[in-house]
Amino acid sequence: MTAVREHFGSRLGFILAAAGSAVGIGNLVAFPVAATKSGGGAFLLVYALFVFLICLPVMMAELAMGRRSDKDPVGAYRQLSSGSHLWRIPGWLALATPFMIAVFYLVVTVWVLGYLIETVTGNLDKLAAPDFFIQFINTPQIFIYLVALMLLINAILAMGVKDGIERAAKTLMPMLFVMLLGLVIFVLTLENASLGLKYYLIPDFSKLDGNVVSKAMAQAFFSLSLGMGIMITYGSYMKRQDSIPGSSRAVAITDTLVAFTAGLLILPSIFHFNPQIDPTELSESSAGMIFQFLPRIFLALQDGIGYVGASVVATTFFFLVLVAAITSLVSIIEVPIATLRDERRMERKKAIYLIAGVQFLLAIACAVSFGMVNWITDFVQLAGASKSFFDLVEIIFYDTILPLNGLLVCLFVIYKWKKANFDKELQEGDEKFAGSFSQKYVNFSLGTFIPLILLLIFINTVALKFF
Protein backbone atom coordinates (compact mmCIF):
# COMPACT_ATOMS: atom_id res chain seq x y z
CA MET A 1 0.00 0.00 0.00
CA THR A 2 1.35 3.45 -0.84
CA ALA A 3 1.17 5.93 1.97
CA VAL A 4 0.13 9.51 1.17
CA ARG A 5 3.23 11.51 0.35
CA GLU A 6 4.40 13.68 3.20
CA HIS A 7 4.92 17.39 2.61
CA PHE A 8 6.64 20.22 4.39
CA GLY A 9 4.12 21.98 6.60
CA SER A 10 4.88 25.54 5.56
CA ARG A 11 6.86 27.58 3.06
CA LEU A 12 9.16 28.76 5.82
CA GLY A 13 9.66 25.16 6.91
CA PHE A 14 10.70 24.22 3.39
CA ILE A 15 13.05 27.19 3.07
CA LEU A 16 14.71 26.42 6.41
CA ALA A 17 15.08 22.73 5.56
CA ALA A 18 16.54 23.48 2.12
CA ALA A 19 18.78 26.18 3.60
CA GLY A 20 19.76 23.64 6.26
CA SER A 21 20.88 21.37 3.47
CA ALA A 22 22.72 24.12 1.65
CA VAL A 23 24.43 25.63 4.68
CA GLY A 24 27.16 23.18 5.61
CA ILE A 25 30.86 22.77 6.13
CA GLY A 26 31.17 24.15 2.62
CA ASN A 27 29.88 27.56 3.71
CA LEU A 28 31.52 27.78 7.08
CA VAL A 29 34.96 26.58 6.14
CA ALA A 30 35.52 25.78 2.44
CA PHE A 31 34.18 29.16 1.29
CA PRO A 32 36.30 31.34 3.61
CA VAL A 33 39.39 29.23 2.81
CA ALA A 34 38.80 29.62 -0.92
CA ALA A 35 38.15 33.36 -0.55
CA THR A 36 41.32 33.74 1.52
CA LYS A 37 43.45 32.08 -1.11
CA SER A 38 41.84 33.73 -4.11
CA GLY A 39 41.58 37.47 -3.89
CA GLY A 40 39.10 38.01 -1.03
CA GLY A 41 36.33 40.25 -2.32
CA ALA A 42 37.09 39.38 -5.92
CA PHE A 43 36.35 35.72 -5.19
CA LEU A 44 33.20 36.76 -3.39
CA LEU A 45 31.92 38.67 -6.41
CA VAL A 46 32.60 35.84 -8.83
CA TYR A 47 31.06 33.36 -6.40
CA ALA A 48 27.89 35.44 -5.97
CA LEU A 49 27.54 35.82 -9.74
CA PHE A 50 27.76 32.05 -10.15
CA VAL A 51 25.22 31.44 -7.39
CA PHE A 52 22.61 33.68 -8.91
CA LEU A 53 23.28 33.34 -12.64
CA ILE A 54 24.14 29.66 -12.88
CA CYS A 55 23.20 27.72 -9.77
CA LEU A 56 19.81 29.30 -9.12
CA PRO A 57 18.28 28.12 -12.43
CA VAL A 58 19.62 24.60 -11.74
CA MET A 59 18.03 24.65 -8.30
CA MET A 60 14.69 25.66 -9.83
CA ALA A 61 15.04 22.83 -12.37
CA GLU A 62 15.70 20.23 -9.66
CA LEU A 63 12.86 21.43 -7.44
CA ALA A 64 10.45 21.49 -10.40
CA MET A 65 11.40 17.91 -11.37
CA GLY A 66 10.71 16.74 -7.85
CA ARG A 67 7.46 18.59 -7.35
CA ARG A 68 5.98 17.66 -10.75
CA SER A 69 6.76 13.96 -10.37
CA ASP A 70 6.14 13.72 -6.63
CA LYS A 71 9.05 11.27 -6.60
CA ASP A 72 12.64 10.56 -5.61
CA PRO A 73 15.30 11.26 -8.32
CA VAL A 74 15.10 7.79 -9.89
CA GLY A 75 11.30 8.04 -10.08
CA ALA A 76 11.42 11.66 -11.25
CA TYR A 77 13.63 10.88 -14.26
CA ARG A 78 11.55 7.79 -15.08
CA GLN A 79 8.20 9.50 -14.84
CA LEU A 80 9.05 12.77 -16.55
CA SER A 81 10.82 10.97 -19.41
CA SER A 82 7.79 8.69 -19.81
CA GLY A 83 9.83 5.60 -19.00
CA SER A 84 12.86 6.21 -21.26
CA HIS A 85 15.61 3.66 -20.54
CA LEU A 86 18.42 6.06 -21.30
CA TRP A 87 17.18 8.64 -18.81
CA ARG A 88 17.22 6.08 -16.06
CA ILE A 89 20.99 6.45 -15.85
CA PRO A 90 20.94 10.04 -14.49
CA GLY A 91 18.31 8.92 -12.00
CA TRP A 92 20.61 6.25 -10.62
CA LEU A 93 23.55 8.66 -10.64
CA ALA A 94 21.43 11.12 -8.67
CA LEU A 95 20.97 8.36 -6.12
CA ALA A 96 24.53 7.00 -5.95
CA THR A 97 26.01 10.49 -5.61
CA PRO A 98 24.28 11.56 -2.39
CA PHE A 99 24.72 8.09 -0.97
CA MET A 100 28.49 8.23 -1.37
CA ILE A 101 28.95 11.94 -0.59
CA ALA A 102 27.10 11.30 2.66
CA VAL A 103 29.69 8.65 3.51
CA PHE A 104 32.71 10.93 3.37
CA TYR A 105 30.81 13.88 4.83
CA LEU A 106 29.82 11.66 7.77
CA VAL A 107 33.47 11.02 8.51
CA VAL A 108 34.39 14.72 8.46
CA THR A 109 31.39 15.45 10.70
CA VAL A 110 32.59 12.77 13.11
CA TRP A 111 35.88 14.67 13.44
CA VAL A 112 33.94 17.88 14.13
CA LEU A 113 31.95 16.08 16.83
CA GLY A 114 35.19 14.75 18.32
CA TYR A 115 36.70 18.24 18.39
CA LEU A 116 33.57 19.59 20.02
CA ILE A 117 33.79 16.97 22.75
CA GLU A 118 37.45 17.84 23.32
CA THR A 119 36.76 21.58 23.68
CA VAL A 120 33.79 20.99 25.99
CA THR A 121 35.91 18.80 28.22
CA GLY A 122 38.63 21.43 28.53
CA ASN A 123 41.15 20.01 26.05
CA LEU A 124 41.50 22.95 23.69
CA ASP A 125 45.25 23.02 24.37
CA LYS A 126 45.53 19.45 23.11
CA LEU A 127 43.78 20.29 19.85
CA ALA A 128 46.26 23.04 19.13
CA ALA A 129 49.24 20.65 19.25
CA PRO A 130 50.77 20.11 15.79
CA ASP A 131 50.23 16.34 15.52
CA PHE A 132 46.91 16.11 17.31
CA PHE A 133 44.72 15.93 14.21
CA ILE A 134 46.45 13.02 12.54
CA GLN A 135 46.58 11.10 15.83
CA PHE A 136 42.98 11.87 16.61
CA ILE A 137 41.55 10.65 13.30
CA ASN A 138 43.37 7.38 13.84
CA THR A 139 41.98 6.64 17.30
CA PRO A 140 39.27 3.98 17.79
CA GLN A 141 37.15 6.60 19.60
CA ILE A 142 36.00 7.92 16.26
CA PHE A 143 33.96 4.75 15.69
CA ILE A 144 31.97 5.49 18.83
CA TYR A 145 31.40 9.04 17.61
CA LEU A 146 30.32 7.66 14.24
CA VAL A 147 27.68 5.49 15.89
CA ALA A 148 26.44 8.42 17.99
CA LEU A 149 26.23 10.73 15.00
CA MET A 150 24.43 8.19 12.85
CA LEU A 151 21.94 7.47 15.63
CA LEU A 152 21.13 11.15 15.94
CA ILE A 153 20.74 11.77 12.21
CA ASN A 154 18.70 8.65 11.61
CA ALA A 155 16.48 9.44 14.60
CA ILE A 156 15.60 12.77 12.95
CA LEU A 157 14.98 11.01 9.64
CA ALA A 158 12.83 8.32 11.27
CA MET A 159 10.37 11.01 12.38
CA GLY A 160 9.61 11.85 8.77
CA VAL A 161 9.56 14.98 6.65
CA LYS A 162 7.42 17.29 8.75
CA ASP A 163 8.08 16.08 12.28
CA GLY A 164 11.70 15.13 11.68
CA ILE A 165 13.46 17.11 8.93
CA GLU A 166 11.33 20.25 9.07
CA ARG A 167 11.16 20.43 12.85
CA ALA A 168 14.92 19.89 13.19
CA ALA A 169 15.57 22.66 10.64
CA LYS A 170 13.19 25.03 12.43
CA THR A 171 15.05 24.50 15.68
CA LEU A 172 18.61 24.21 14.45
CA MET A 173 18.77 26.88 11.76
CA PRO A 174 17.82 29.86 13.96
CA MET A 175 20.31 28.51 16.51
CA LEU A 176 22.97 28.43 13.82
CA PHE A 177 22.29 32.03 12.76
CA VAL A 178 22.50 33.24 16.35
CA MET A 179 25.76 31.40 17.07
CA LEU A 180 27.32 32.63 13.84
CA LEU A 181 26.35 36.24 14.51
CA GLY A 182 27.51 36.03 18.12
CA LEU A 183 30.90 34.73 17.04
CA VAL A 184 31.29 37.37 14.33
CA ILE A 185 30.45 40.18 16.74
CA PHE A 186 33.02 38.85 19.20
CA VAL A 187 35.72 38.42 16.54
CA LEU A 188 35.18 41.91 15.16
CA THR A 189 36.04 43.41 18.54
CA LEU A 190 39.46 41.73 18.53
CA GLU A 191 42.64 43.65 17.86
CA ASN A 192 43.64 43.80 14.18
CA ALA A 193 40.28 42.42 13.07
CA SER A 194 40.04 45.34 10.65
CA LEU A 195 43.10 44.04 8.76
CA GLY A 196 41.19 40.82 8.09
CA LEU A 197 38.12 42.76 7.03
CA LYS A 198 40.15 44.81 4.60
CA TYR A 199 41.77 41.72 3.17
CA TYR A 200 38.39 40.04 2.81
CA LEU A 201 36.36 42.91 1.45
CA ILE A 202 38.74 44.81 -0.83
CA PRO A 203 38.82 42.84 -4.06
CA ASP A 204 42.18 41.85 -5.49
CA PHE A 205 41.31 41.09 -9.09
CA SER A 206 44.88 40.17 -9.93
CA LYS A 207 44.34 36.82 -8.18
CA LEU A 208 41.49 35.84 -10.49
CA ASP A 209 42.51 33.26 -13.07
CA GLY A 210 40.88 30.28 -14.74
CA ASN A 211 41.60 28.14 -11.74
CA VAL A 212 40.01 30.51 -9.24
CA VAL A 213 36.96 30.97 -11.44
CA SER A 214 36.41 27.22 -11.76
CA LYS A 215 36.93 26.83 -8.00
CA ALA A 216 34.28 29.47 -7.34
CA MET A 217 31.89 27.68 -9.66
CA ALA A 218 32.44 24.26 -8.08
CA GLN A 219 32.11 25.77 -4.61
CA ALA A 220 28.84 27.54 -5.47
CA PHE A 221 27.39 24.38 -6.98
CA PHE A 222 28.30 22.22 -3.99
CA SER A 223 27.22 24.85 -1.53
CA LEU A 224 23.69 24.96 -2.89
CA SER A 225 23.45 21.14 -2.59
CA LEU A 226 22.99 20.75 -6.35
CA GLY A 227 23.68 17.64 -8.37
CA MET A 228 23.00 15.45 -5.34
CA GLY A 229 19.33 14.64 -5.88
CA ILE A 230 18.56 16.58 -2.70
CA MET A 231 16.60 19.38 -4.32
CA ILE A 232 14.67 16.89 -6.49
CA THR A 233 13.69 15.00 -3.34
CA TYR A 234 12.87 18.14 -1.33
CA GLY A 235 10.92 19.45 -4.35
CA SER A 236 8.72 16.37 -4.11
CA TYR A 237 7.78 17.42 -0.56
CA MET A 238 6.92 21.00 -1.58
CA LYS A 239 3.36 22.19 -1.67
CA ARG A 240 1.92 23.10 -5.05
CA GLN A 241 0.87 26.57 -3.90
CA ASP A 242 4.44 27.55 -2.93
CA SER A 243 6.61 29.46 -5.36
CA ILE A 244 9.62 27.50 -6.63
CA PRO A 245 11.48 30.59 -7.97
CA GLY A 246 10.78 32.56 -4.78
CA SER A 247 11.80 29.76 -2.44
CA SER A 248 14.93 29.03 -4.50
CA ARG A 249 15.94 32.67 -4.24
CA ALA A 250 15.43 32.65 -0.48
CA VAL A 251 17.58 29.52 -0.11
CA ALA A 252 20.34 30.91 -2.35
CA ILE A 253 20.37 34.25 -0.52
CA THR A 254 20.51 32.57 2.90
CA ASP A 255 23.26 30.23 1.81
CA THR A 256 25.36 33.02 0.32
CA LEU A 257 24.85 35.28 3.33
CA VAL A 258 26.03 32.53 5.66
CA ALA A 259 29.13 31.91 3.51
CA PHE A 260 29.84 35.64 3.44
CA THR A 261 29.37 35.92 7.20
CA ALA A 262 31.66 32.95 7.80
CA GLY A 263 34.36 34.92 5.98
CA LEU A 264 33.78 37.78 8.45
CA LEU A 265 34.52 35.27 11.17
CA ILE A 266 37.55 33.50 9.78
CA LEU A 267 39.61 36.31 8.23
CA PRO A 268 39.60 38.76 11.15
CA SER A 269 40.50 35.80 13.43
CA ILE A 270 43.48 34.96 11.25
CA PHE A 271 44.74 38.55 11.32
CA HIS A 272 44.19 38.90 15.04
CA PHE A 273 46.32 35.80 15.51
CA ASN A 274 49.04 37.13 13.24
CA PRO A 275 48.72 40.64 11.74
CA GLN A 276 51.76 40.04 9.53
CA ILE A 277 50.34 36.94 7.94
CA ASP A 278 50.10 36.40 4.21
CA PRO A 279 46.89 34.39 4.07
CA THR A 280 47.69 33.02 0.62
CA GLU A 281 50.45 30.99 2.29
CA LEU A 282 47.98 29.12 4.46
CA SER A 283 47.19 25.50 3.71
CA GLU A 284 44.91 24.97 0.74
CA SER A 285 42.63 22.51 2.47
CA SER A 286 39.53 23.15 4.52
CA ALA A 287 40.52 20.29 6.81
CA GLY A 288 43.84 22.00 7.53
CA MET A 289 42.00 25.20 8.42
CA ILE A 290 39.32 23.75 10.63
CA PHE A 291 41.23 21.00 12.40
CA GLN A 292 44.74 22.41 12.64
CA PHE A 293 44.92 26.17 12.19
CA LEU A 294 41.70 27.31 13.90
CA PRO A 295 42.37 25.45 17.18
CA ARG A 296 45.68 27.35 17.42
CA ILE A 297 43.86 30.63 16.82
CA PHE A 298 41.27 29.76 19.49
CA LEU A 299 43.93 28.81 22.01
CA ALA A 300 45.77 32.09 21.42
CA LEU A 301 42.62 33.92 22.55
CA GLN A 302 43.42 32.83 26.11
CA ASP A 303 45.82 35.79 26.43
CA GLY A 304 42.83 38.13 26.27
CA ILE A 305 39.84 36.19 27.62
CA GLY A 306 41.46 33.35 29.56
CA TYR A 307 41.47 29.62 28.86
CA VAL A 308 37.80 29.14 29.71
CA GLY A 309 36.78 32.05 27.48
CA ALA A 310 38.85 30.66 24.61
CA SER A 311 37.29 27.22 25.15
CA VAL A 312 33.80 28.72 25.03
CA VAL A 313 34.57 30.40 21.70
CA ALA A 314 36.03 27.17 20.29
CA THR A 315 33.07 25.14 21.57
CA THR A 316 30.59 27.54 19.97
CA PHE A 317 32.45 27.33 16.69
CA PHE A 318 32.58 23.52 16.56
CA PHE A 319 28.96 23.29 17.67
CA LEU A 320 28.02 25.69 14.87
CA VAL A 321 29.81 23.57 12.28
CA LEU A 322 28.27 20.39 13.71
CA VAL A 323 24.75 21.81 13.48
CA ALA A 324 25.36 22.92 9.88
CA ALA A 325 26.73 19.48 8.98
CA ILE A 326 23.85 17.61 10.63
CA THR A 327 21.14 19.48 8.70
CA SER A 328 23.10 18.82 5.49
CA LEU A 329 23.50 15.13 6.27
CA VAL A 330 19.81 14.79 7.04
CA SER A 331 18.96 16.14 3.58
CA ILE A 332 21.43 13.97 1.74
CA ILE A 333 20.47 10.72 3.47
CA GLU A 334 16.81 11.45 2.81
CA VAL A 335 17.50 10.92 -0.93
CA PRO A 336 18.14 7.14 -0.77
CA ILE A 337 15.37 6.81 1.82
CA ALA A 338 12.91 8.46 -0.58
CA THR A 339 14.13 6.16 -3.36
CA LEU A 340 13.58 2.98 -1.37
CA ARG A 341 10.17 4.22 -0.30
CA ASP A 342 9.05 5.29 -3.77
CA GLU A 343 10.71 2.62 -5.88
CA ARG A 344 10.58 -0.39 -3.57
CA ARG A 345 7.58 0.63 -1.48
CA MET A 346 9.70 0.14 1.60
CA GLU A 347 8.63 1.48 4.95
CA ARG A 348 10.65 4.50 6.14
CA LYS A 349 12.10 2.71 9.18
CA LYS A 350 13.17 -0.32 7.20
CA ALA A 351 14.79 1.88 4.55
CA ILE A 352 16.68 3.72 7.28
CA TYR A 353 18.08 0.51 8.79
CA LEU A 354 19.21 -0.73 5.41
CA ILE A 355 20.85 2.51 4.33
CA ALA A 356 22.43 3.19 7.70
CA GLY A 357 23.91 -0.33 7.76
CA VAL A 358 25.61 0.02 4.38
CA GLN A 359 26.69 3.61 5.04
CA PHE A 360 28.18 2.62 8.36
CA LEU A 361 30.43 0.04 6.70
CA LEU A 362 31.49 2.44 3.95
CA ALA A 363 32.08 5.23 6.47
CA ILE A 364 34.40 2.89 8.38
CA ALA A 365 36.32 2.26 5.18
CA CYS A 366 36.64 6.04 4.77
CA ALA A 367 37.59 6.56 8.40
CA VAL A 368 40.46 4.06 8.25
CA SER A 369 41.84 5.75 5.11
CA PHE A 370 44.35 7.82 7.02
CA GLY A 371 46.82 5.18 8.11
CA MET A 372 44.80 2.73 10.20
CA VAL A 373 44.57 0.17 7.39
CA ASN A 374 47.37 0.26 4.86
CA TRP A 375 45.67 -1.12 1.78
CA ILE A 376 42.75 1.29 2.23
CA THR A 377 45.14 4.18 2.75
CA ASP A 378 46.90 3.29 -0.53
CA PHE A 379 43.80 2.13 -2.31
CA VAL A 380 44.47 3.12 -5.94
CA GLN A 381 46.90 4.96 -8.16
CA LEU A 382 45.31 7.94 -9.88
CA ALA A 383 47.09 10.52 -12.00
CA GLY A 384 50.40 9.15 -10.77
CA ALA A 385 49.63 9.42 -7.06
CA SER A 386 48.41 6.98 -4.47
CA LYS A 387 44.89 7.69 -3.25
CA SER A 388 43.00 6.34 -0.28
CA PHE A 389 39.43 5.05 -0.34
CA PHE A 390 38.30 8.37 1.18
CA ASP A 391 40.09 10.31 -1.59
CA LEU A 392 38.60 8.07 -4.24
CA VAL A 393 35.02 8.62 -3.05
CA GLU A 394 35.61 12.36 -2.96
CA ILE A 395 37.23 12.46 -6.41
CA ILE A 396 34.60 10.32 -8.12
CA PHE A 397 31.43 11.60 -6.56
CA TYR A 398 32.14 15.12 -5.39
CA ASP A 399 34.64 16.36 -7.94
CA THR A 400 33.48 14.50 -11.02
CA ILE A 401 29.90 13.24 -10.92
CA LEU A 402 28.44 16.31 -9.23
CA PRO A 403 28.90 18.62 -12.24
CA LEU A 404 27.84 15.76 -14.53
CA ASN A 405 24.58 15.41 -12.62
CA GLY A 406 23.99 19.15 -12.94
CA LEU A 407 24.62 18.98 -16.67
CA LEU A 408 22.15 16.10 -17.02
CA VAL A 409 19.47 18.00 -15.07
CA CYS A 410 19.75 20.97 -17.46
CA LEU A 411 19.61 18.83 -20.59
CA PHE A 412 16.79 16.72 -19.23
CA VAL A 413 14.54 19.57 -18.15
CA ILE A 414 14.91 21.62 -21.33
CA TYR A 415 15.21 18.98 -24.04
CA LYS A 416 13.47 15.88 -22.72
CA TRP A 417 10.86 16.98 -20.21
CA LYS A 418 10.54 20.15 -22.33
CA LYS A 419 10.49 23.86 -21.60
CA ALA A 420 6.70 24.18 -21.72
CA ASN A 421 6.20 21.61 -18.95
CA PHE A 422 9.01 23.09 -16.88
CA ASP A 423 7.52 26.58 -17.27
CA LYS A 424 4.11 25.36 -16.25
CA GLU A 425 5.54 23.86 -13.08
CA LEU A 426 7.41 27.05 -12.19
CA GLN A 427 4.27 29.09 -12.69
CA GLU A 428 2.30 27.02 -10.24
CA GLY A 429 2.40 28.98 -7.03
CA ASP A 430 4.01 31.92 -8.83
CA GLU A 431 1.82 33.46 -11.53
CA LYS A 432 4.03 36.53 -11.83
CA PHE A 433 6.85 34.34 -13.07
CA ALA A 434 5.03 33.66 -16.37
CA GLY A 435 6.51 35.75 -19.14
CA SER A 436 8.92 37.53 -16.80
CA PHE A 437 12.53 38.29 -17.60
CA SER A 438 13.58 35.70 -15.01
CA GLN A 439 11.61 33.02 -16.77
CA LYS A 440 13.22 33.81 -20.11
CA TYR A 441 16.64 33.86 -18.51
CA VAL A 442 16.11 30.55 -16.72
CA ASN A 443 14.92 28.84 -19.90
CA PHE A 444 17.65 30.24 -22.07
CA SER A 445 20.51 29.64 -19.66
CA LEU A 446 19.51 26.09 -18.78
CA GLY A 447 19.37 25.15 -22.46
CA THR A 448 22.64 26.80 -23.47
CA PHE A 449 25.57 28.08 -21.46
CA ILE A 450 24.93 26.47 -18.06
CA PRO A 451 25.25 22.89 -19.38
CA LEU A 452 28.25 24.02 -21.41
CA ILE A 453 30.01 25.39 -18.33
CA LEU A 454 29.21 22.23 -16.36
CA LEU A 455 30.52 20.12 -19.24
CA LEU A 456 33.79 22.04 -19.25
CA ILE A 457 34.17 21.56 -15.50
CA PHE A 458 33.45 17.86 -15.88
CA ILE A 459 36.02 17.40 -18.68
CA ASN A 460 38.62 19.45 -16.83
CA THR A 461 38.17 17.39 -13.64
CA VAL A 462 38.41 14.08 -15.48
CA ALA A 463 41.60 15.21 -17.22
CA LEU A 464 43.09 16.54 -14.01
CA LYS A 465 42.13 13.89 -11.51
CA PHE A 466 42.27 10.68 -13.48
CA PHE A 467 45.14 11.06 -15.94
Nearest approach, Cβ of residue 102 and ligand PFF (Å): 5
Residue 318's contacts (CB-CB under 8 Å, 6 or more residues apart) are 112, 115, 116, 119
Of 17, 18, 20, 27, the one binding ligand PFF (CB under 6 A) is 27
Please pick, from the candidates 24, 66, 227, 268, the single residue that binds ligand PFF as defined by CB under 6 A.
24
Taking the C-alpha atoms of residue 20 and residue 250, their distance in angstroms, rounded to an integer, is: 12
Q: How far is the CB of 165 from ligand PFF (least distance, A)?
A: 13
**CA-CA-CA-CA torsion for 287, 290, 291, 297, nearest 10 degrees?**
140
Looking at the Cβ atoms of 21 and 247, the one nearer to ligand PFF is 21
Nearer to ligand PFF by Cβ, of 18 and 195: the residue is 18
Output the smallest distance, CB 108 to ligand PFF, in A.
9
The single residue among 332, 340, 356, 364 that binds ligand PFF, judged by CB under 6 A, is 332
Of 21 and 369, the one with the shorter C-beta distance to ligand PFF is 21
Q: Rg (Cα) of the chain, in Å, rounded?
A: 22
Minimum CB–partner distance for residue 109 and ligand PFF (Å): 9
Please pick, from the candidates 8, 13, 15, 21, the single residue that binds ligand PFF as defined by CB under 6 A.
Answer: 21
Interface with ligand PFF by CB under 6 A: which range of 23-31, 132-140, 356-364, 442-450? 23-31
Choice from 247, 328, 359, 439 touching ligand PFF (CB under 6 A): 328
> How would you label 258-277 residue by residue, b for 16+ Cβ within 10 Å and e otherwise?
bbbbbbbbbbbbbbbbeeeb
Cβ–Cβ < 8 Å for 196, 268: yes
Contacts 24+ apart (CB under 8 A), 458-465: 458/400, 458/403, 458/404, 458/407, 460/214, 461/399, 461/400, 461/403, 462/400, 464/383, 465/382, 465/383, 465/395, 465/399, 465/400
Which residues have CB under 8 Å from 12's CB, separation 6+? 170
Question: Exactly one of 97, 269, 316, 331 binds ligand PFF (CB under 6 A); which one?
Answer: 331
Of 288 and 309, the one with the shorter C-beta distance to ligand PFF is 288
Question: 112 or 238: whose CB is closer to ligand PFF?
Answer: 112
Separation CA 370–CA 6 (nearest Å): 41
CB of 248 to ligand PFF, least distance (A): 14
Is-contact 165 156, C-beta < 8 A?
A: yes
Query: Across the strands, what pairs with 387?
Result: 380
Binding of ligand PFF at residue 128 (CB under 6 A)?
Answer: no
Q: Which is nearer to ligand PFF, 222 or 412 (CB)?
A: 222
CA angle 404, 259, 173 (to 5 degrees): 100
Q: Using an 8 Å Cβ cutoff, are 15 and 251 in contact? A: yes
In the complex, least distance from residue 393 CB atom to ligand PFF, rounded to whole angstroms:
12
The interface mask with ligand PFF, positions 76-115, x = CB under 6 A, is: -------------------------xx--x----------
Compute how many residues bind ligand PFF; rule: CB under 6 A: 16
Binding mask 217-256 for ligand PFF (x = CB under 6 A): -----xx-x-------------------------------
User: Are the C-beta atoms of residues 428 and 185 closer than 8 Å to each other?
Assistant: no
Parallel, antiparallel or unpaired: strands 380-382 and 385-387: antiparallel
The answer to whether 22 contacts ligand PFF (rule: CB under 6 A) is: yes
* Contact residues for ligand PFF, defined by CB under 6 A: 21-22, 24-27, 101-102, 105, 222-223, 225, 328-329, 331-332
